[in-house]
Amino acid sequence: MNEVTIIGAGLAGSEAAYFLAEHGLKVVLVDMKPKLTPAHASDKFCELVCSNSLKSDDIYGNACGLLKEEMRILGSLTMAAAGRSRVPAGGALAVDREKFSSYVDEHLRSHPNIRIVSEEVGDLPASGIVATGPLTQGKLFEAIAAKFGCLHFFDASAPIVSAESIDMEKAFAQDRYDRGPGDYLNCPMTKEEYENFVTELLSAERTILHDFEKNDVFEGCMPLEVMAARGMDTLRFGPFKPVGLTWEGRRPYAALQLRRENEEGTSYGLVGCQTNLRFGEQKRVFSLIPALKNAEFERYGVMHRNTYLEAPKCLNADFSVKGNPGLFFAGQITGVEGYVESAASGLIAGYHVLNRALGKPSLVPPASTVIGALSRYIATENKDFQPMNANYGILEGGYEGIRDKKERRRLIAERALYEIGNFRRQILEG
């Protein structure tokens, strides 16, 4: 392997390029910048186009915080950049976005093993890493679609909460009209509670969409706040309809249903609650539902035009293409969701490319690490596959027998960090 071609210099492509260059491989990093998409404002690589927050930095109490520490162990460029550009934000890791991207940009452009090519790619490479992100466009988009036939337009998603944070005294399990074993959890509301929820939903602050996104709203994924604006009772005839449900001997006035997000039942999605509210507003408004008063959000709802592979049909757990082990995808196009998750997928793809260059068999981190769990998520058959971010629900072996949540998550983190360190040693030293 004389040179590794990497297409895209966002978070994922930047991580992969720097890691491979640092370990002696020659890299050709191809990116359309200085030409910009409507979502970009800077000619620097690794631009943060939305929030400047990389979410929680709590290693022992938050899955995304744990993922960041796994990345630091693996030698992450973006985590180094975040450390150098950090701004005060409580327990979150927030950055000065200009300093963040400048740090990454300078490290990539000055590296002797990296050659930058500024052009818009029109076809898939025979090998290398494709990390062009959720706004992949033009001829490359057409080439990917023609090759895999498994691209989706992801325009809205609903929040996901942890099961243990749901107040089960104010929720009940039942399928509508009892047409099932009780797979759904229902969050009943009185008339006063429902009307207060709708009022606050309508007044909540929304995320501002770029012009290129404003026409990408489909009726089937209508944001909850847009639906509610059609009338006070609209949600009661839609996602909050109480028909077929019984609570304390009678039908509730309104009810939100929660659906399992994983086999273990550790995560629940808010059914029909696609939203464009700002994250803080989502927590505030959805917490008005009695059963969700203390809900912990594992993923907030998002709305934007987003292209991603139906990865289980296309990719292996090492992010390589099925049938072509020399071609890898990384970043949000693979079905991971979020800045940190995107960067992590690029970093781990870099490890897999290096491992292949060294002539070693494929080695995927254990599913008890966040990186390993995300790797397996994107490669596991799922007829309802949608992008996923870091959360405890996808981790394997969560010490379920330990009741104390803090102790359980401490043990999860300690094991994950040990195992990711061992993975690193197996690739770089083994």
Which of 299, 327, 353 is the last residue in one of the domains?
Answer: 299
* Closest residue by Cα to residue 224 from 303, 305, 306, 307: 303
| Statement to judge: residues 411 and 335 lie in one domain | yes
Residue 102 in this model has a pLDDT that exceeds 70: yes
Residue 78 and residue 119 in one domain: yes
Residues 291 and 318 grouped into a single domain = no
**pLDDT band of 217, cuts 50, 70, 90:** very low
Whether residue 15 is predicted with pLDDT greater than 90 in this model: the reply is yes
Comparing 204-213, 320-329, 386-395, which segment has the lowest mean pLDDT? 204-213
> What integer pLDDT is reported at residue 41 of this predicted model?
63
Who has greater pLDDT, 251 or 386?
A: 251
Looking at residue 212, its pLDDT comes to 41
Q: Which two tokens stand for residue 387?
A: 């992008």
Task: Tell me what the pLDDT averaged over the chain comes to.
Answer: 89
Q: Is the pLDDT of residue 78 over 50?
A: yes
pTM of the shown model: 0.74
Sign of the torsion angle spanned by Cα atoms 81, 86, 92, 98 = negative
Same domain, 40 and 124: yes
Average pLDDT over residues 401-417: 93
Task: Write down the residue that tokens 């400048």 correspond to.
Answer: 102
Domain CATH for 236: 2.40.30
Higher-scoring residue by pLDDT: 181, 188: 188
pLDDT at 215 over 50: no
In which band, very low, low, confident or very high, does the pLDDT at 30 lie, cut at 50, 70 and 90? very high
Mean pLDDT of 383-394: 87
H/E element holding 191?
A: helix 191-203
Whether residue 185 is found in the same domain as residue 98:
no
Is the pLDDT at 38 greater than 60, yes or no?
no
Contact 133, 8 (CB under 8 A): yes
Of all helices (H) and strands (E), which one includes residue 189?
strand 185-189
- The last residue of a domain, from among 280, 299, 318: 299
Residue 419: CATH number of its domain: 3.50.50.60
12 and 87 both lie in a single domain: yes
Phi, psi of 119 (to 5 degrees): -160, 160
Q: Are residues 90 and 167 in the same domain?
A: no
> Whose CA is closest to 288, among 330, 241, 256, 329?
256
Cα distance between residue 277 and residue 287, in whole Å: 14
For residue 218, pLDDT beyond 50 = no
The mean pLDDT of 62-76, rounded to a whole number, is 97
pLDDT of residue 216: 47
| CB neighbourhood size of 226 (10 A) | 16
Q: Which residues have C-beta within 8 Å of that of residue 219, sequence separation ≥ 6?
A: none
Using DSSP's 3-state secondary structure scheme, residue 321 falls into: strand
The residue out of 269, 299, 329 marking a domain boundary is 299
Q: Could you give the CA distance from residue 43 to residue 325 in angstroms, rounded to a whole number?
A: 32
Distances, alpha carbon 58 to alpha carbons 54, 327, 414, in Å: 11, 34, 13
- Percent pLDDT > 70 in the chain is 91
Structural domain containing residue 126: 3-154+306-428
For 241-256, the DSSP string reads: --TT--BTTB--SEEE
Phi, psi of 180 (to 5 degrees): 165, 180
**pLDDT number for residue 220:** 52
Same domain, residue pair 182 and 93: no
Pair 285, 311 in one domain: no
**pLDDT of 70 above 50:** yes
Q: Report the number of distinct structural domains present in the chain.
A: 2
- Sorted by sequence, the CB contacts under 8 Å of residue 177 that are 6+ apart come out as 244
Sequence-distant (6+) residues with CB within 8 A of 268 are 160, 161, 162, 163, 166, 185, 258, 259, 260, 261
Q: Are strands 114-118 and 26-31 parallel, antiparallel or unpaired?
A: parallel
pLDDT at 150 over 70: no
Most confident of 86-100, 149-163, 179-193, 345-359: 345-359
| Residues 399 and 324 occupy one common structural domain | yes
Average pLDDT over residues 82-98: 82
**Quick one: tokens of 43?**
């000619």
Kindly state the average pLDDT of the residues 16-38: 89
Q: Are residues 192 and 215 in the same domain?
A: yes
Q: Is 221 found in the same domain as 256? A: yes
